[in-house]
Amino acid sequence: MASKSAKKYVYFFGAGKADGKSEMKNLLGGKGANLAEMTNLGIPVPAGFTITTEVCTLYYKNNRKYPKELAGQVEAAVTRVERIMGKKFGDPENPLLVSVRSGARSSMPGMMETVLNVGLTTKTIPGLIKKTNNERFVYDAYRRLMMMYSDVVMEKAAGIEPEEGHGIRHKLEHAMEAVKKRKGFKSDTDLTVSDLKLLCEEFKEIIKQTLNKAFPDDPKEQLWGGIGAVFQSWMGKRAVSYRKIEKIPEDWGTAVNVQSMVFGNTGNTSATGVAFTRNPATGENVFFGEWLPNAQGEDVVAGIRTPNPVNKAGKTADTRHLPSLEEDMPTLYKELYAIQKKLEKHYHDMQDIEFTIEDGRLWMLQTRIGKRNGQAAIRMAVEMASEKLIAKETALLRVKPEQLDELLHPSVDPVAEKLAVELAKGLPAGPGGAIGKVVFTADDAEAWAKRGEKVILVRNETSPEDVHGMHAAEAILTAKGGMTSHAALVARGWGKCCIVGCSALEISVKQKEIHVNGHVVKEGDWITLNGTKGRVYEGQLNLLPADPEHNPWYKQLMKWADQKRTIHVRTNADTPNDSIIARNFGAEGIGLCRTEHMFFGPDRIKAVREMILSDTLEGRKKALAKLLPFQKADFIGIFKAMAGLPVTIRLLDPPLHEFLPHTDNELRELASDMQVPFDRLNAKNKSLHEFNPMLGHRGCRLGVTYPEIYEMQAQAIMEAASELARQKIKVVPEIMIPLVGHVNELVAMKKVVIETAERVKKEYKVKVAYTVGTMIELPRACMTSDVIAEVADFYSFGTNDLTQTVYGLSRDDAGRFLPFYVENGILKDDPFITIDQEGVGAFMKIAVEKGRKVKKNLKLGICGEHGGEPKSVEFCHNLGLDYVSCSPFRVPIARFAAAQAAIKGTAKKKK
């Protein structure tokens, strides 16, 4: 026994008592904490113990060595399990078998798969046969142990990475398939005792030849091999890849769960299954799951056999002929139904549960928070709040802002679908539509996606090694597996379109082609997936944009979000059409209207070029006069679309060379139109090119040197506003001067705008309120904010340029190395995606504090790309900004993130 003063590394659970509880997730991992909690709730859980996440951390700190107390504590825990289960580990007469599972604090598909039946050896096999009176079952359990252990412990954990199709698991499966083929068997269950005995001997030979190591025949060696494999898998390639995608810290570590085995494959009164307390694909409040009679748990999850629906409600057109647990074992189904209700009520969230029935007795193996797609997450959150299971604030915090994005995803056009060539159908594991080119490996999916190709990853079944390719793909399609298979679970967590169990697909990874219902689909061919219906179509079908406004749960959730948030959400829009889309998504104004986007139309670009290339003020004004009616018409359209909401218009910002011809032919054509010699125009064109245009003659610097440009733009804005004012249409123009570094630039430009605006108002004889503010996008502007605030009516942080100038980093060039910085932990996030709070954020904080010291009610916003990114929105809320502004399709996400920021802020204050 371990001494009382020794550090506790092993937590026991069993017979209604547990050392741990659900709150100890960080120490025991999600699985361990929940096993302890279920035991404490009086739910039937096979006895076992959890080795803490601290051991994982120490294992890597101490050069892959365990703390000295661990061995004794594990031995003591095994003894307690033996006492409760009435069996002994390694005993030839009455052997105890255990499973070894990984368990990080949050579910990680990249971690080690379960190893079952640990403790089965040539010495314990006879005793188990005598005890169960089922020789076939015992040898089936033995061959499963060899398949799992050799794959997970002896190959993967040892860092062996064979070529696809050459791994130990593949070789063992190939040997088993050969026996079935030779005997004319279709299912694994057709194999006889003598088949399995011979197969076990053949497995031992293949393992020894392939891995140069004998399969261990000592139960303790098997147990410690399994424990070590869990810790090794924490730093395995697939786990590291998944952690990067999900932003899970490396120092969390994983726990190990060792639990006594109960068997779902001892005969017809045994079964195994996985279920969810609500439908994880739709969110509907119905018990949903899958089961298999006379099978082990991995059979359901691994997708080796297509499972049956757990109840009558879960039957589909494809599974209606399969018997449900509700029909086959009604008493046990009722017990399971009552347990799942109890668990959801206890945890206040949808649960993903694993169960086994051994000889007519129900055992619960696991409960955890169930993964769900965006559509399901929203429906569950709203319905649970309406059922008073959770508070509205909890409902709002439970949905990830990016899950809303899934509702904004396209679906397959039903008209096109009726005319399409259907290749196959499977189980609808992830909703929405997707089109892409077929690829067969995760590495290809990632490589093709990196070069801008849309791909659909097609596999027989996916495994945790595929997560990087699954993440890169538009959608996932598998030939095997059910709604609880690896592909379904991972896709659901990411909101990816996904179809599983598409059994008609005959996939040849080697030939890189699919044979399906008389069709051949090759790598690079286009296919379309309807993940909502589980249908696969040939070619590219039309996708319809999403329509969240017809989703009652989305509308209700967004209503609650708008009631909670305190920061306004605007949009970045340059056209009336974008403005209307954004308003429909709930935008409360325009935070950035980029006037230069209006200059690129074919009917205007020549006038813009004439203006730029003119040598005289008169020539520039003549060209600007041609542009004025275009700009005015654009502003009228945008003001009308925004119907009285504020519209912040940024005056011309980019360097002039961006508008110039790129070829000699275009320049000759322009010279002819302007009636000037080509050489003169060419010389002028060359003179405008800059070495570093991002920091050159742009923004207000253009306005200072060519005030007539800003004068024309101010005139167009005010004429548009005045015309609408005459029609009694409310307009709120906010005129924004870009790239101000010195207050004198703003003073000069504000003077031009005000003189022009007042002249126009006088001409039109109308009253139009307007404001003149500036973009804060240079470090100097932040540091002198108190001086600038004396002149500016409002600030809008241009965080794209502020990030460039604080970092001294060109956004256009950063793509070559920034991903490397993030992957290697130099930077936690890409600063052009998420505001760098310590650097860029510190400058913003200085600007806010200095500006509001001078003007208490100075209006502050942000209009960079960060305005729709949830972490950045939370930062802006905490900074006290009045609004964020983002692209139209990010507006709902920004609204939602703002509500979450407000709730988190209130919770912090209460603490």
Q: Which residues are catalytic?
A: 486, 863
Helices (H) and strands (E) in the chain, counts: 36, 34
What are 457's two structure tokens? 């990853």
Label the pairing between strands 288-293 and 271-276.
antiparallel
Q: Please work out, in degrees rounded to the nearest 5, the angle formed at the alpha carbon of residue 858 by the alpha carbons of 852 and 863.
A: 110
* Secondary structure string (H, E, C) spanning 156-184: HCCCCCCCCCCCHHHHHHHHHHHHHHHHC
What are 433's two structure tokens? 């539509």
| Contact (Cβ atoms closer than 8 angstroms) between residue 802 and residue 846 | no
State the Cα–Cα distance between residues 714 and 754, nearest whole angstrom.
Answer: 8
State the Cα–Cα distance between residues 656 and 732, nearest whole angstrom.
Answer: 29
Would you call 119 helix, strand, or coil by DSSP?
A: coil
Residue with tokens 């009552």: 338
Q: Tell me the one-letter amino acid at 689.
A: H
State the Cα–Cα distance between residues 427 and 256, nearest whole angstrom.
Answer: 32
Mark out the alpha helices in 314-398 (DSSP H runs): 325-328, 330-347, 374-386, 392-398
Between the CA of residue 434 and those of 30, 379, 493, 530, 672, what are the distances in Å? 33, 22, 17, 7, 49
What are 539's two structure tokens? 């070619």
Measure CA of the first residue to CA of the last residue in the chain; give whole Å. 42
Label the pairing between strands 513-516 and 519-522.
antiparallel
- For the chain, how big is the Rg over CA atoms in Å? 33
Partners of residue 508 on adjacent β-strands:
513
Residues 375/381/385/391 CA torsion (nearest 10 deg): -150
What are 30's two structure tokens? 């999600």
Tally Cβ neighbours within 10 Å of residue 524: 12
State the Cα–Cα distance between residues 687 and 660, nearest whole angstrom.
Answer: 12
Residue with tokens 């017979």: 15
State the Cα–Cα distance between residues 362 and 381, nearest whole angstrom.
Answer: 30
| Contact (Cβ atoms closer than 8 angstroms) between residue 616 and residue 676 | no
Residue with tokens 């990016």: 402
State the Cα–Cα distance between residues 357 and 266, nearest whole angstrom.
Answer: 10
Would you say the C-alpha torsion 232, 234, 238, 241 has a positive or negative sign? negative
Q: DSSP labels for 858-898?
A: -EEEE-SGGGG-HHHHHHHHHHT-SEEEE-GGGHHHHHHHH
Least Cα distance to 477 among 505, 508, 498, 450 occurs for 498
| Contact (Cβ atoms closer than 8 angstroms) between residue 399 and residue 377 | yes
From the number of C-beta atoms within 10 Å of its C-beta (0-12, 13-18, 19+), residue 727 rates as exposed
State the Cα–Cα distance between residues 804 and 777, nearest whole angstrom.
Answer: 9
State the Cα–Cα distance between residues 419 and 410, nearest whole angstrom.
Answer: 19
Interhelix angle for 576-584 vs 617-642, to 10°? 30
Interhelix angle for 891-910 vs 870-879, to 10°? 50
State the Cα–Cα distance between residues 799 and 784, nearest whole angstrom.
Answer: 17
Partners of residue 537 on adjacent β-strands:
422, 528
